[in-house]
Structure 1
Amino acid sequence: MYTIIVLLPLAGFLIAGLFGKQLGAKACEYTLCSFMVVAAVLSWIAFISFGFGEGETLRVPLLQWIQSGGLDVSWSLRIDRLTLVMLVVVNTVSTLVHIYSIGYMHHDPHRPRFFAYLSLFTFAMLMLVTSNNLVQMFFGWEGVGLASYLLIGFWYQKPSANAAAMKAFIVNRVGDFGFALGIFGIFVLFGSVNFDTIFAGAADVAATLGGGAAHSAAEAGAQAAHGAGDIVMTFAGYALTMGGAVTVVCLLLFMGAMGKSAQLGLHTWLPDAMEGPTPVSALIHAATMVTAGVFMLARMSPVFELSSTALTFVTFIGATTAFFAATVGLVQNDIKRVIAYSTCSQLGYMFTALGVGAYGPAIFHLFTHAFFKALLFLGAGSVIHAVSDEQDMRRMGGLRKHIPITYWMMVIGSLALTGFPFTAGYYSKDAIIEAAYAGHNSFALYGWGMTVIAAALTSFYSWRLLFMTFHGKPRAAADVMHHVHESPAVMLVPLFVLAAGALFAGIVFEHAFIGEGYEHFWHAALYTGTNNHVLHDMHAIPFLVSFLPTLMMVGGFLVAYVMYISRPSLPKDLATRNRGLYLFLLNKWYFDELYDFLFVQPAKRIGRTLWKTGDGKIIDGLGPDGVSARVLDVTGRVVRLQSGYLYHYAFAMLIGVAALVTWGMLGGAN
């Protein structure tokens, strides 16, 4: 069953990619959607039967891949609770996006190619989440990077789409370089890239660093039995002990996660990726690809638990990202960019939870976030579809009566995002805030403060989006408003399914993910060691602390209501009076401008210098171009002698005879 789940999207990609023109668009759409429906149903069956049963971790071997020295990499599927959660998320959202795209991409002439890319992305993501070793995970990691490049730049006729695709590809390569170095470091420390060996070695290292005796049970884990003061690795010229080496490796792995999950510093590609079709935004940049970094850290939680320094850094970056992205979302005018920055902020929440050791709440929020964020993106797509592809909220307004179903779907998604009581976000996001308060590392309270502030900002920009888009007077052109219409059923049905998840996923799965059934449900898929007391401590925090996120949610709503319903002139007045702050937020803290100044322009200048001077003047000038130029000069002068006049030839013969006589005389004298 698990092999079928993974390979069905690959089969769909091959069918649409190789035979799309022969089959036609409709045949490709229905075939690939059918494959995805089967994969999604099987994923839910596996999740319910295996995930809530007594089953142990399964390993499904597929083929032998790499055998070189001590490196043994088999291609196999690792099936545990964490894998099953991701299978449900990936296949459910991907199926709904496939179905939604039938309506949204109806007029696009390249639908077979689009659906092929969707299925390729889904296959790569499934390979990532079912991997049984880090090399197989890296294959899926790079696969989703390739597929996202193809999907973001799907409308390749648009220069902005091409630029966004290149930006996403290049920025992710920065993070992926760190991820690759982290994999190398894992192999040096544990002698393997297979998860079972790594986790066994991590237990040995924990005993060693904790003062206990190493008890390596396998030869592959023998390297983990070094004393805490032994030199086990050199990095950038520095000798590292086991504790230092583990920290460096964890930070390198997190560098990969920062790129893929758009954390502060490597986040700049995510908003620009909105140049792709809206279904792409829902699939890649809301529910699946951007959560790959969260999944990877959760999978490697036994290793990250060995380094409090690395976890503290994860907390700091996650909390700062949650705050940063929320501030930028306050002033964005593109409806998709507001939701994109919301995604960036919510990913910051997840990393904050991972940093304080609350792995269950992090994955719980990943699970619930997939439903309500995909709902918001697809709802935004329905709005864009209704208003003739307009994305600027300043040119919308008054749409509530024209597209009421889309409006209520967006309301449900926004309620879940803001943490309205008893919606999915209420259970998962508030759990992260409580875990940050109960955390024990030095940035835990910082994480709590940033996530609480971000909760208020999230509520404000979510309601701002709703008020600007659906309420007030229509601001669109008269001909646009005349054609505003509700989306077809093929686009609305996926919204209904996602809305059900946004409303009920939290209350249904809270007990298993973060409640009393936590250890039984996860069953060693996440780190549940005795040293991690966060989940226990978060249930003992003061009532006011647990109620504070709800207060922030209400406060954000009230401020948005005053500014965009009661006094709609107030936002413009505030922006005028605080011009500097407004431009700072509107320009996204000037990260793009800073990177352009520090990296892009110097790289262009260096490249231009190497091209014009190094290659053009020096290499080509002294090399082939220079030699050919001298040959042309000589031959040009020789050609002039071939004038066709007899006296010129006689003169040349005379010079030759004189030269020959001179040479003979001088030669004879010698």
Structure 2
Amino acid sequence: MLVGSLSLLATPWLTGFYSKDLIIELAYGQYSFSGIYAYILGSLTAGLTAFYSFRLISLVFLTVPNGIKKVYLNSHESNFAVVLPLFILALFSIFFGFVFSDLFVGVGSDFFANSIFINPNHISIIEAEFSLPLIFKLLPSILSLLGAMSAIFLYHLYPDFLINLTESSLGRHIYSFLNGKYFFDVIYNYFIISVGLLIGNNISKVLDRGVIELIGPYGLANSLENTANNISKLDTGVITTYSLYITIGILSLVFLVFAPLLFDTYIISEYRILVIYISALFFSLLPNLSNKT
């Protein structure tokens, strides 16, 4: 953990030093507002990274344990399967940047020439290496050192200082704001998640359980049931009604056969058949309606 934290905060001659500081220097080497803005944010981020990295080391390894005693009594070294990957990572964190930095990001190196195209107007490696003032090259490392020392000072040497800050009303509010992650989760859940769930619920009720089911399963089943009930009502058991059905069928057959020949029209445009069907349906259902009333 110590080697990883040192490499993460860009300690000189470790792997993070050859990548992290170079990125910050390249940003300043653009000599533009966006480049200087990125340089300032990158330098501040380097200091904060060192702060929380050494804060982690201080709370885990240097301060008095605050956990359950049984956990600490059962603590032991990791087995070889866990130590080996960590050893390889630590080895690369120490030596990889020093050995291969000139190959990958050195001045004049064309290692990525066939893989990554860089606009010539965006190349600032010369400015980053030779034209930057020394203070701007050292500023990220200085902020990283200050962040690491601040973490050790506040969390290991004088931990009561942070506790005393939360005793005031302002300190408690600031602590609650920072500890609550700027209340991002509260705002996100109240204004986005709740609204999304409400919209989803309405869509589910209106579309999924409403229109789709009305047109789909329930609507089709109800339509078939109503159609079957209406057709079953035609079976009245009255001989005169059956005679009417036979007469309608014979007349329909006659029209279907002879209408195109007599009137020089198509069967689909013969409206008289439709009139006969509607009239037959009305007269066949009329006895059932009169019986119900």
Q: Report the TM-score when normalising by structure 1.
A: 0.32
Residue 526 of structure 1 corresponds to 116
Q: 2:125 aligns with which of 535, 546, 569?
A: 535
> Is the Cα–Cα contact under 8 Å of residues 30 and 122 in structure 2 kept in the other structure?
no
Paired residue secondary structure (2:77): coil
Q: How does 1:160-559 map to 2 (within 5 A)?
A: 410-519=1-110, 521-527=111-117, 530-539=120-129, 540-559=131-150
Among 196, 213, 218, the residue aligned to 1:625? 218
Q: 1:166-193 deviations in whole A, cap 9, x for unaligned? A: xxxxxxxxxxxxxxxxxxxxxxxxxxxx
Q: Deviations over 1:334-360 (max 9, x none)?
A: xxxxxxxxxxxxxxxxxxxxxxxxxxx
Cα deviation digits, residues 92-132 of structure 1 (max 9, x gap): xxxxxxxxxxxxxxxxxxxxxxxxxxxxxxxxxxxxxxxxx
Question: What are the ranges of 5 or more consecutive residues in structure 2 without an aligned counterpart?
Answer: 230-235, 243-282, 287-293
Counterpart in the other structure of 1:612: 205
Give the strand-richer structure, 1 or 2: 1
Residue identity matched to 2:197: K
Separation in 1, partners of 2:119, 2:35: 19
Deviations 1:513-563 (A, max 9, x none): 2323423x3344333554344100012111111111121111111211121
Write the distance in 2 (CA, Å) between the matches of 1:583 and 1:634: 67
Q: Which has the higher contact order (CA 8 A, sep 6+)?
A: 2
Q: Is residue 3–residue 90 contact of structure 2 (8 Å, CA) maintained in 1?
A: yes
Instruction: Determine the C-alpha separation between the residues in 2 that align with 1:504 and 1:575.
Output: 43
* 1:625 shift after superposition: 1.4
* Post-superposition offset of 1:605: 2.5
Q: Could you say if the C-alpha distance between residues 629 and 548 of structure 1 is closer, same or farther in structure 2, counting changes exceeding 3 Å?
A: same
Structure 1 residue 633: Cα displacement: 8.1
Counting aligned pairs with the same residue, the percent is 30
Q: Greater CA radius of gyration, 1 or 2?
A: 2
Secondary structure of 2:121 counterpart: coil
The 1:515/1:474 distance shift into structure 2, 3 A limit, reads same
For 1:76-115, list aligned pairs within 5 A.
none
Letter in 2 for 1:462: S
Following the alignment from structure 1 to structure 2, what is the Cα–Cα distance between the partners of residues 534 and 590? 40
- Where 2:33 maps in the other structure, the secondary structure is coil
- CA–CA distance in 1 between the matches of 2:118 and 2:207? 58
- How much does 1:430 deviate? 1.2
Could you tell me whether the CA contact under 8 Å between 2:107 and 2:126 is conserved in 1?
no
Q: Which amino acid aligns with 1:507?
A: F
Cα distance, 1:659 vs. partner? 9.2
* Larger helix share, 1 or 2: 2
Give how far 1:632 is off. Answer: 6.1
Matched, 1:603 2:196: yes
Partners of 1:499 and 1:615 lie apart in 2 by: 55
What residue identity is the alignment partner of 2:196? Answer: A
Letter of the 1:526 counterpart: I
Distance 1:573 1:523 in 2: 56
Deviations 1:50-82 (CA, angstroms, capped at 9, x unpaired) = xxxxxxxxxxxxxxxxxxxxxxxxxxxxxxxxx
Give the match for residue 254 of structure 2: none
Q: Give the SS at the match of 1:485.
A: coil
| CA distance, structure 1, for counterparts of residue 220 and residue 89 of structure 2 | 69
Q: Tell me how many residue pairs correspond in the alignment.
A: 240
